[in-house]
Amino acid sequence: MNTRILLRIIIFLFFHLVFRDMNAQCAMCKTIVDTGAQNGSTVAAGLNMGILYLLGVPFLSIAIFSYAVWRRWKIKQDAS
**DSSP of 3-51, one letter per residue?**
HHHHHHHHHHHHHHHHHTT--SS-HHHHHHHHHHHHTT-SHHHHHHHHH
What's the structural domain count of the chain? 2
pTM: 0.46
- Nearest 5°: CA angle at 17, between 64 and 65? 10
pLDDT, tens only, 37-51: 777 777 777 777 888
Domain that holds residue 12: 1-41
Kindly state whether residues 6 and 33 are assigned to the same domain: yes
Is residue 48 domain-resident? no
pLDDT, tens only, 28-79: 777 777 787 777 777 777 777 888 888 888 899 999 999 999 999 999 888 8
